[in-house]
Each structure stands twice: as C-alpha cells, then as structure tokens.
Chains A and B, each alone.
Chain A
Amino acid sequence: MGGRDATMVLLDENGIRCDGRKIDEPRRIMIKAGGLKNADGSAYIEFGDNKILVGVFGPRDVHPKHMSDTDTGILRVRYHMEPFSVGERKRPAPSRREIEISKVIKEALEPAVMLEKFPRTAVDVFIEVLQADGGTRCAALTAASVALADAGIPMRDMVAAIASGKVADTIILDVNNEEDQAGQADMPVGYMPSLKKITLLQLDGVLTPEEYKKCVDVGVKGCEVVYELQKKALHDKYFGNKGD
C-alpha cells in the first residue's frame, strides 16, 4: 500500500484535507443494489476510490454439514481483496488481515440478520474488493447489508458503516488511505440507524475520552448519511425511485 509521505499536509489551515474535502465530508458514495444474476442478492459500492462487489447466497444448505446449527442459521462472510486491488500485487490467498475483516464484518451483520428464522441453513456473503483506498471494511459492510436486503433475508435493520478518525489533532469523517497511513487514529463505525445501535466499533490509534466520544458521534452521523444512500439504492431497484 501507499508509503508514508512525511511532507504531505493532511489538514491545511483552512480546514481542507489532503483530497480537498472538509473535515466532516465523506467521499463520493455510489451504491447499486442487484447486478449479479446468479447470486440471490448482490450490491456494488463505490466509496471514493474503493470499488467493492458483494454477492449473497441463501438461506441454503450448510456444507460441510457439521457446521450447521439446529437452533439457528449461520452467517458466513468472506472478505477478499483482488490481486489487482492495491498498488503492488496482493497474493490472492486469504491473509491474516482478510480473515480478521471477514470475522469483524460477520459479527457486525449478525445483530441485524434474523438467522433464527432459518435453522439448519447458512447465509453466505462474498465480498470482493476490486479496488481499495482505505476504509474498505466500512464500504464492504455497507454493501453487504444492501446485498442481504436484496436477497430478501429478514433483517431487523440495515447496517451502515463509515470510519471516523483523527488527523492533525482534528476529528474527521471518512478516513481515506493517506489519512489512515499517516493519521493519528482510525475508527470504523457500523451502525443500525433505525434501532440506533452500534454493531461495529474498532479503533486504531490513541484518543482522549473526549475525542473518543466525539469520534463515535461523528461516525454515527456519517452512518446516517450512508444509510440514506443504502435506502436510495434499494428504492431505485425495487420501486423505480418513486420513494415513499
């Protein structure tokens, strides 16, 4: 991934960030529901320069059989980065990082998905990162939630996600790759907007208690912006953008 550039100005005196955004401005986000014919549900997201495709299957039979649970369905998530998704070729085998992100996304989706309705089945979520530019786990989680809704899997709420962070002693929304590498803190937040519950919260860096609270608040506010776009994507596909 991109090397550290000591001379880069992350935040100038006018409060403008290295890619020209304001401190509380997310990158350009485009979400599309559907698109894959063979998957039960799918979604595509462009989150700044991140490009991620998600396919969902299920509920379906569990293979291998011993993984199935007689009380509830299970959720399986695979987060995978394409070899061409980053600057230098990434080996296609699942890395430690990818395994971790798969687990984190799975646990962030579980509170929303009503798996107990489908005992002895599995819901499979396949996330393919086509192009990465910082904040892929949030973008992937956002898209996975749209894909699950597209597959018609019962959910208590959508899950929207965005990262907040700290750069040049300022709390910012939507950390990009440069800010992630050179910034002081990065906090991905996953949030269920209607239930007002946080399902994903990670923190890389050091924050004071006040900064921590502010960071969470900024992240939650960002999630609400993302949620509106998720809503739009599903409305576009199913209701021809007639809205309510």
Chain B
Amino acid sequence: MADKRKYVIPGDVITSGPFRPEQNVVLEGNNIIATAVGISEIYEDSVKVIPLTGKYIPKINDLVIGKVISHTSLSWELDVNSCYVGFLPAQDVFGRDFSTHADELSSKLKTGDLVAARIANFDRTRDPLVTISDRDLGKIDDGILVKISPSKVPRLIGKKGSMIQMIEMATNAAVTIGQNGWVVISCETDEGLLKAKKAVEMVNEKAHIANLTDLIKDMLDGKDES
C-alpha cells in the first residue's frame, strides 16, 4: 500500500497527478508538495507526510494528557502541550446541575493535577474543548509523566499497538499515551516503572531507526536476565 516512502523536507515535490492531499502536504498546481520534514507515503488515491518534528495540533477525538494550569469559576484550563490551552468546562465534571455557588472547582481538580482527556471539539476560531466524562478518562492519581515528541507518538504505539503492548507485557506497567506526546506510566514495582520509562524514552530518541522493535525488545529482555 504505502510502497513509495520517501524522506522529504518542505518544498519537496512528492508526486504529481490526481491524488488527494492529506496531512502535511499541499497541492501547488499539479504537484503535491511536502510542508514538513518527514516521511512521505503515497496511497492509492491520497498522499501524506508523517512529520518527524513539530508541535502537537489538537484533533477531535484525540486522547491527550493535560495538566491543570488554572481555573475560573466556570472552567479549568489545561496545558495540553500545544499552542492552544485545553478548555474543560465545569459542567463536564459536575453535570448539568452545576452551580457556581454550590460547587467549588478546586475540590475536583487542582492546579498541577494530571488528567486524561479527550478533545471534544476544536476549530480554528476557539481553543480546544476537552472532556473527561468518559470511560478511562479523568484525573490521573498515580504514575509518572514522561514527555516525548508528539511526532513520535505513532512510533511508540507501533503497528496496531504492537510496540506499546510489548513494553506493557515486559514491564507489567500501565502506559497511557496522550496524542500530545505526554505519557503517563504507572506500575506496581519500581523496577518495572523505570524500565518502561527507559523504553519510552528510547523510542523517543531512536524513533528513526528501522529495527527499533528489536532494539527495545533486547533492552527489555536484557534487563530481565540480569
């Protein structure tokens, strides 16, 4: 499917012809041009570039890890490692009968708390609206935060989750990956926690290496024996 993979930088012509431009490409005349440093992939009818660098741009339905930076009487603001702040309305937590008099926002989420959230709505006119009222979402009580580059999140997940499953199996840790490049790792043993952290950091540093899966596997296994 994605047979024609190429390393591209902004301005490189990937192909020309009747293709649909997707992520990080633009149509200029008849040519499809890359707009980011990355790897281009040509599918049957579309072209995209997987970026190797760049900030996180919110997308609807993305799972993100956010950090509460402040709150007003009506909403929280979350740092989601993007150029925009996540907007979490109080109704999302307290329900429809939320009242500014009866409910105190800091009783549920304090500044500095980590939350797993989903981008509920985002368009270019407003800051992204996030929600935590869903299964698996909400305040994160334990675990450590590891920050990686958002462009390397797909590599950490791997094909159909292969990479992350391997790390979780080998270390017995629970890893929550936010699309924004923030990863929370929690584990019952300190040893597993450190190992999982090391694996995640290794993916971040060596994302461009082809046989990364084997490398990580060796690292995880090597530690098991010693």
Which residues of A are at the interface with B, using a C-beta cutoff of 8 A? 40-41, 58-61, 70, 112, 114, 117-121, 149-158, 192-195, 230-231, 234-235, 238-240, 242-244
Contacts and interface: CB of A to CB of B under 8 A. Distances in A.
B145 to A, nearest CB: 19
10 contacts: A61-B83, A114-B26, A153-B54, A155-B10, A156-B10, A157-B11, A193-B11, A238-B53, A243-B7, A244-B7
A114 B35 contact: yes
B9 interface: yes
Nearest to B8: A244
Given A152-B55, A238-B208, A194 B7 contact: no
A238 B83 contact: no
Contacts of A151: 53-55
Given A154-B35, A156-B10, A194-B13, 9 more contacts: A149-B9, A149-B36, A152-B54, A152-B55, A154-B24, A194-B33, A231-B9, A238-B208, A243-B7
B9 A235 contact: yes
Contacts of A192: 11
Nearest to A41: B53
Contacts of A59: 55, 83
Label chain A's interface by main secondary structure.
loop
Q: Which of B28, B51, B84 neighbours the largest number of chain A CB atoms within 10 Å of its CB?
A: B84
B6 A244 contact: yes
B7 A242 contact: yes
Q: Is the interface of B mostly helix, strand, loop or mixed?
A: loop
Q: Using C-beta atoms within 8 Å of the partner chain, give the interface range for chain B.
A: 20 to 34
A58 B28 CA distance: 25
B71 to A, nearest CB: 18
B219 interface: no
A121 B6 contact: no
Given A119-B125, A235-B7, A154 B52 contact: no
A133 B52 CA distance: 34
B135 interface: no
B51 to A, nearest CB: 6
A150 B12 contact: no
